[in-house]
Amino acid sequence: MKLKLTQAPAPVHTELAPACGWSVWNELISCSDDQTLHKWNLQGEPEGKVCQLDAYYTDLHWYPLSSKRNQSGGTDVFAVGCTNGCFKVISRTGKLEKSVDAHSGACIALRWSYDGTALATAGEDGSVKIWSRNGMLRSTLAQSDSPVYSIVWGADSDQLCYSTGSNIIIRSSQSSAKQITWKAHEGVVLKVDWSPISSMVVSGGEDCKYKVWDSYGRLLYQGDPFDYAVTAVAWSPNGDLLAVGSQDTLQLCDRMGWAHSKSHLKTGSILGLSWTSDGTQLAGSGSNGTVVFAQVVDVAQEDGRVQVTLEDEHKVVVVDLLSEITDELEFRDRVVKISLGFDHLIVATSTQCHVYSISNLSTPYIFDLKEPVTLVMQCERHFLIMDHSSGIQLYTYEGRQLCNPKFPGLHPELMNQQMLGLSNDTIAVMEVGAQSSGTTVRFFDAAQGRPIGEPFQHSLEIKEIQLSQVGTSTERQLILIDRNRDLYVVGVMKRQPAKLASMVDSALWHNTTGMLAALVDQKLTVWYYPNEVFVDKEMLAKSRFVKADAEYGKAAHIQVFTGECFACIQC
């Protein structure tokens, strides 16, 4: 996996460009010390000046929109912070809607909450303030002795994570819950980002390092030092990728911080990074005024027999690993998602979904999409796609829609693959969002999308769920991994959880049998009959396979468990 880079042939900004941001229309707005705001299209081509104001900008953030249907009511706006201490709210067309004096020094950073009800600003004066959508001051959350360089909301739109000096602080904006503070770097922390899906925090500092933390301040990963300070970090929308920017350098990492690729540029220090809502493209603004565009390519998937690679945004290459026959699939629109499994390949472009049978790649089933797809999952009989507008949609491999399950509080923009389970007869969905504690799983009938029984409630926050792939609906099993990394098996019908193991990093059901594989304390464990946990735990211990291998490492992830093949990646 790597980044394919493009830049405008001629410079658009003449001075430093501190920030940029993608809108839901896939338009990029960049700001610069030349006092201009410019618009760019998805191909990285400049489309003209949006406006010019008598201000020097520090940060930019679009008002959050979960779908294009929610754009009524004047929500197509973005906020910019300025060196004179004010923030400005500007419409998509460049009209200045509001200017508010916020800080006694520069307004260094700002972010809208995910629900759009509040704007948080951080200043050179060391204060963190929360404002209403209309620019009214609600509260001064914190006052520090040193400037606050970066700020980001948590998924619940209540907690805020910000950096001051060498420390990172997480604090609730409403409740009296105790704040979490930890020393993150040897020098000043210049940038933080907090994934709303994985709940992991990434930070970059003047000590030339980037680090990945959990939301309690425990270090998960520390990258090798760069040659210069790390000036920008950004999670992709689904939390699976991480971008890190430094002087003339842009690095793409996996969800745990391990580097996929490092690109060398001529941008100066990358000061701002922004992902498109589908997570396929990235833009960065540099200290010399350059705006760089990066497409995620060389994305590969394998099922033991076939390998599929996204070579660029319009071409997918399919290789039969046994016969070594190669097929190239060309697409008019850019490819957003690919998924391989159960002898079918799903390719979702920005406007259409293509469903291929691996045995016949020449005649796909094709249907139109209302919005770009953010997630694809497969099982034997059908597949699931998700977008921000329609939510969860289930289709047959002939392109016929089966159901569209919905419930109050469904937040597709905050969900990834670990929060969904799919089988031939059942869909499992975790509840996420500000009103959820992350402990609830809902079950739906795959044929009609109707709820199956009452929601299942676990005692701790759930991190990952999966449904077994074999057997009837009465035999269907759910596995879950909770915050303590304990692995449980739950019957979809009986709802009686039983603990299988502790210290679990990843788990995956076999695609054609009832076997279950898991990485338990850096050891591969396979249960041949995991249902024995409900009957005889002594027999369960005798019907499992355990293999220790130092190469698995910490936080590895199982990707494939099919036939006699097992594949995992080190995260």
Could you report the per-residue pLDDT of 365-412, keeping only the tens digit for each? 999 999 889 999 999 999 999 998 889 999 999 999 999 999 887 888
Domain of residue 355, CATH code: 2.40.10.480
Pair 276, 317 in one domain: no
Domain of residue 215, CATH code: 2.130.10.10
Domain assignment of residue 230, yes or no: yes
**Which run of H or of E encompasses 541?**
helix 537-542
Please work out, in degrees rounded to the nearest 5, the angle formed at the alpha carbon of residue 542 by the alpha carbons of 485 and 456.
40
What pLDDT score was predicted for residue 352?
95
Domain assignment of residue 492, yes or no: no
Q: How far is CA 160 from CA 67, 114, 196, 290, 547, in A?
A: 24, 11, 12, 30, 42
Domain stops at, among 348, 369, 390: 369
What's the whole-number mean pLDDT along residues 199-225?
A: 94
Q: Give the span between the Cα atoms of 86 and 552, in whole angstroms.
A: 50
pTM: 0.88
Pair 318, 215 in one domain: no
Domain assignment of residue 378, yes or no: no
Pair 266, 364 in one domain: no
Contact 295, 312 (CB under 8 A): yes
Domain assignment of residue 232, yes or no: yes
Pair 209, 78 in one domain: yes
Domain stops at, among 297, 324, 348: 297
Pair 118, 266 in one domain: yes
What pLDDT score was predicted for residue 71?
42
What's the whole-number mean pLDDT along residues 299-327?
A: 91
What is the per-residue pLDDT across 488-511, written as a single tens digit (0 to 9) for each? 999 999 889 999 999 998 999 998
Q: Is 168 exposed, middle or buried (0-12, 13-18, 19+ CB in 10 A)?
A: buried
Query: Per DSSP, what are the bridge partners of residue 542?
Result: none
Q: Give the span between the Cα atoms of 114 and 160, in whole angstroms.
A: 11
pLDDT-based confidence at 568, cuts 50/70/90? low
Q: Give the span between the Cα atoms of 30 and 233, in whole angstroms.
A: 17
Domain assignment of residue 209, yes or no: yes
Q: How many CB atoms lie within 10 A of CB 54?
A: 7
pLDDT-based confidence at 68, cuts 50/70/90? very low
Mean pLDDT for the chain overall: 91
Query: Per DSSP, what are the bridge partners of residue 112?
Result: 119
Range of the domain at 217: 2-297
Domain stops at, among 326, 349, 369: 369
Pair 248, 309 in one domain: no
- Our count of domains for the chain comes to 2
3-state secondary structure of 63: coil
Pair 273, 306 in one domain: no
Pair 237, 289 in one domain: yes
Measuring CA to CA, which residue among 341, 379, 303 is closest to residue 565?
A: 303
Domain assignment of residue 144, yes or no: yes
Pair 192, 312 in one domain: no
Pair 311, 286 in one domain: no
Please give the torsion angle defined by the CA atoms of residues 521, 525, 527 and 531, in that order, rounded to the nearest 10 degrees: 10
C-alpha 249 chain-centroid distance? 22
What is the per-residue pLDDT across 404-444, written as a single tens digit (0 to 9) for each? 999 887 888 888 899 999 999 999 999 887 667 789 999 99
Domain assignment of residue 496, yes or no: no
Pair 287, 330 in one domain: no
Return the higher-pLDDT residue of 176 and 497: 497
What pLDDT score was predicted for residue 552?
66
Domain assignment of residue 334, yes or no: yes
Pair 287, 346 in one domain: no
Query: Per DSSP, what are the bridge partners of residue 19?
Result: 31
